[in-house]
Amino acid sequence: MHSPKRTDDSVAIVWRNEGSDDSPVNYMSLKELRNQVMIVANALDTMFRKGDAIAIDMPMTCTAVIIYFAIILAGYVVVSIADSFTANEIGTRMKISKAKGIFTQDFIVRGGRKFPLYGRVREGTPCKAIVVPVLGNDVGVQLRSHDLSWKDFISRAAGLPSRPYNYSPIYLPAENVTNILFSSGTTGDPKAVPWTQLSPIRCAADSWAHIDVQSGDICCWPTNLGWVMGPVLLYSCFLTGATLALYHGSPLGHGFGKFVQDAAVTILGTVPSLVKAWKNSKCMDGLDWTKIRAFGSTGEASDKDDDLWLSSRASYKPIVECCGGTELASSYIQGSLLQPQAFGAFSTPSMSTGFVIFDEHGIPYPDDQPCVGEVGLFPVYMGATDRLLNADHKKVYFDGMPTYKGMNLRRHGDIIQRTIGGYFVVQGRADDTMNLGGIKTSSVEIERVCNRADESVMETAAVSVRSSTGGPEKLVVLAVLKDGSTKADLNLLKMKFQKAIQNNLNPLFKVSFVKVVPEFPRTASNKLLRRVLRDQLKQEISSRSKL
């Protein structure tokens, strides 16, 4: 693809609001984006001190993108918080990051309905909030006395002696933190992962090398700045010269698909659960996606049948699988447009990445041998974090890992399979962390909530399983009752567990089914053997599918 050099008039962002599906798409030029970023940067300087951490908790809109880049341009640190989090989870992340303020929206609009967001922020943190209206110019909620509306915040820049769209960037050393993201661990507390100035370069380099993102492309990837793919998408677009495509609404319906068509998207990123929903609902029927030249897929394991369906929407264009981590600022294993791609599989380590697959004794398998084992990453990895803000980095990622050719391997936690053809398939987590809808969480977190959901429950075990054809992990909650029986209203228990998880953890986590058992398998030291439970459930699911 040969594209002209980008100018001030080049399109930086193409976007559309949900509900305006029959209207033309909106465009923001590079000059307009730069001016808006500088206005916000000037306003920030009237309220915060250089180096302060400032959170963003709102949908990924044009305004959110402007705020993100303004915070970094002005020498502050972005704290990424997903807009699906409960008040408690917002508060936890604000405290860990020591954030001094937070940008949010008054509401989130989905399908014509308004859901409160500022209310959750207000409940979760006493920090100053700057509130963006989801509709119009005025916020639709009563603000606390120390909070500001977006209009009042922007007016601070207008009163400065210099023009509000003039700003000198703050230059900082490469190791300085630009963004604090969060990754769930097995302890139940989110790990605070700091990104440095190198992390954005890694994001863009991988997108360029593996998905061929470049100037002239229009990239769309439904995500949020609270998840790693949010910042990855921004840097992948703006450091390669591509245009960012944003749909201000739910990606689940026809409206999103029509935006992809009307915006002439060339690179479409997905999550497997989303693809399955599109396929099952048939909401994308009749749309023209032929401008798409490649898909990206990340967050969870893909289903081969769903991938075939997705590829067929765009004349069988390739799907590049990506698997990595927040702490890596990108992927350790990917597909590549320079190689034949297999649905639901990875074809290569990501650019400049090395890894081995080792057995249960820590012995690496030969590179040309089909095998299944835990992955160990080579320790030198450009853009990866070398510290955590609230945990021991060495203990989390290196202690207990085997050595290879004198290198202490880095832990990632995936079990992967190398096939006879040399492709890789991720088979799940080596520890008791699970991946639900692209969000990593721990069994311990879910069990802690479910144990209190019903008086009849003595203890619970949370595990995730996948169907025999692959696809996303499904959450299963097993319960032991206080009276020792195995008779219970499973639908009622499922409803109570679901409600407890939604209220205390994340509304995006869905309980697939519940099972009551007389007791759990344990080690001699009384540790719960979730792996055994997981294997038993896999056998049950396999037997059902054969029937």
* CATH number 2.30.38.10 is the correct assignment for the domain at 354-430: yes
β partners of residue 103: 56, 130
**311 versus 436: which is more confidently predicted?**
311
Q: Is 377 exposed, middle or buried (0-12, 13-18, 19+ CB in 10 A)?
A: buried
β partners of residue 514: 477
Enter the CATH code of domain 29-196.
3.40.50.980
- Give the pLDDT score at 5: 77
0.75 surpassed by pTM:
yes
> What fold is seen in the domain 433-546?
GMP Synthetase; Chain A, domain 3 (3.30.300)
* Mean pLDDT, range 233-246, rounded to an integer: 98
CB 464 within 8 Å of CB 473: yes
Nearest to 149 by CA among 157, 139, 140: 139
| 20-34, 116-130, 294-308, 397-411: least confident range | 294-308
**Spatial separation of the C-alpha atoms in residues 139 and 106, rounded to whole Å:** 6
Q: What's the residue count for the chain?
A: 547
Confidence tier at 541 by pLDDT (50, 70, 90): confident
pLDDT per residue over 62-101, tens digit each?
999 999 999 999 999 999 999 999 999 999 999 999 999 9
* Mean pLDDT, range 440-466, rounded to an integer: 87
- Give the pLDDT score at 523: 54
pLDDT per residue over 244-299, tens digit each?
999 999 999 999 999 999 999 999 999 988 998 899 899 999 999 999 999 999 98
Query: Nearest 5°: phi and psi at 231?
Result: -60, -35
CA distances from 509 to 72, 474, 506 (A): 32, 9, 6
Beta-carbon neighbour count of residue 229 at 10 Å? 24
pLDDT at 317 over 80: yes
Enter the CATH code of domain 197-353.
3.40.50.980
**Spatial separation of the C-alpha atoms in residues 344 and 295, rounded to whole Å:** 12
Q: Where are the domains of the chain?
A: 29-196, 197-353, 354-430, 433-546
pLDDT at 145 over 60: yes
For residue 70, what is the enclosing H or E element? helix 62-73
Matching fold, domains 29-196 and 433-546: no
Six token digits for residue 190: 């989110």
